[in-house]
Amino acid sequence: MLPISIRTKFHSIEGLEWGNPQGIPILCFHGWLDNANSFAPLAPYFPEYRFISIDFPGHGKSSHKPENTVYYFAEYALEIVSIVQSLGLEDFILMAHSMGAAISTLVAGTNLLKIKKLILIEALGPLTNVSQSAPDIMSEAIKQILHPRGKKETYFPDMESAITIRLRAGDMNENSASLLMERGIEKTPRGLKPRRDIRLHFNSFFRYTEEQVVSFCERIECPTLLILGDKSNFPIANAFPNRKSAIKNLSEVILSGGHHLHMDHPEKVAHVIHQFLNEDTPKDTQ
């Protein structure tokens, strides 16, 4: 494992790299409030590939946005494209989890990048709202940003406390939470503090409509694998039929596990990914 640093037009991006530097690249993006260690359990199963995992801006060791600004969901799509161009990647495999998978769905739909195959874990596009709710969503976001009640920095006396809090926030095992905290916590004079930018907790100014997300799905040209956990807090298996039917070449696999199944059960997840990479269609697994 080697640390990598990338300077895009907007951010200093940090990440991790494993495997064969001359191999086909697999570029990985994590979920909301996670970091590049999200893919550390999977990396050893892909030694023949150039396996890269990235910290999104405001997450892990990547830079935060300047003061007096906020984060916009769509900007992450811009950042993925910028990172790929900075790395000079073509015909690469894009793999992502949760928020990263939601954004990667949009990125693949722009056709700006030469994506060989797309692997989405526990998300297929972002959350949506009906267009009539847009004024309320913007109103709540503005009020929250101007009057950020309760949005205070968190400090932990020790790593065990940080891991305990992370376990309460998501369905994952202790080893997975420990891995995320290992990269996601820094020492300060006041104690251990999350590296993530606290502004990530602010609501979005707007959400896409379902019709807009389906339009992105219709534009995805590369073979796509959707991996879901049967015990996830985000049940997608019976959701988004229009998105799924819109993607021309989509395979869906449901495995035993929760939202972070790629961390908790990397061997099972790696197996279906290898099937997908080596064949056109992976076999369904329960």
Q: Could you give the residue numbers annotated as active site?
A: 98
Instruction: Give the C-alpha separation, 29 to 86, whole Å.
Output: 15
Beta strands in the chain (DSSP E): 2-7, 12-19, 25-29, 50-54, 92-97, 115-121, 185-188, 191-194, 224-229, 250-255
Find all residues with CB under 8 Å of 160, minimum gap 6, and list them.
none
Distances from the Cα of 165 to the Cαs of 156, 171, 180, 242, in angstroms?
9, 12, 12, 36
Closest CA to 26 of 38, 43, 11: 43
Instruction: Give the C-alpha separation, 248 to 244, whole Å.
Output: 9
Beta strands in 36-83 (DSSP E): 50-54
